[in-house]
Amino acid sequence: MLRYETRLKLPQATHWAARVSVIRILGLDPGLARMGWGVIDVSGTRLSHVAHGVLRSDAKCELAARLLALHEALTAVIAELQPAALAIEQAFVAKDASAALKLGQARAVALMAAARAGLAVAEYAPNHIKKSVVGAGHADKLQVQAMVRRLLPTAQVEAADAADALACAIAHAHLSGTRARIFEALAGDGRPGGRSAAARKIVAIG
């Protein structure tokens, strides 16, 4: 049994059609008991909240059933909201080996769902996400939640798991925007259609 909570605010259809440069990002805070997710639209430097929620699995069910339920629910979110990219927290070394194993299994389910949907996948360390969103790599959950609310005022996010997921999406949006500005600055070396040597190097190291 999987409980599924979401807060949804989709853009108007006519408005969406006009925003041809919009990129939709799904952020995930993976977990076996609670998997937070959040979707944002990115247009230039503008961030817009689309939806967020928390997937919960029943601890009374067998592990395989819990993983299957999470996979099916996440697949449904991806199919409905059609993100182009997934941003997910990297695995970290935990003192509790059992907890680390469960987290790794939940991450694997999320990565598989994204791969099957053809999403671009980016992984970020928790400290990187906090620094990108709050400005401090060791910010606590309340600080992250407060900054997410400030950056996405229409989200009205309350669950910490969903806030962390939105933060992950925001971090990816910031990094993607930085990369785009670097390519724009370095592209072209004076020849029609040419790239500078520095730009070509960035492409090579990817």
Catalytic residue set: 29, 89, 161
DSSP assignment of 127-157 equals HHHHHHHTS-TT--HHHHHHHHHHHSTTT--
In sequence order, the 6+-apart residues with CB closer than 8 A to the CB of 161 are 29, 31, 34, 35, 36, 54
Specify whether the CB–CB gap between 166 and 181 falls below 8 A. Answer: no
- The CA-atom distances, in angstroms, between 109 and each of 35, 75, 150, 183 are 11, 10, 31, 33
For 202, the enclosing helix (H) or strand (E) is helix 197-205
Q: In this structure, which amino acid lies at residue 188?
A: G
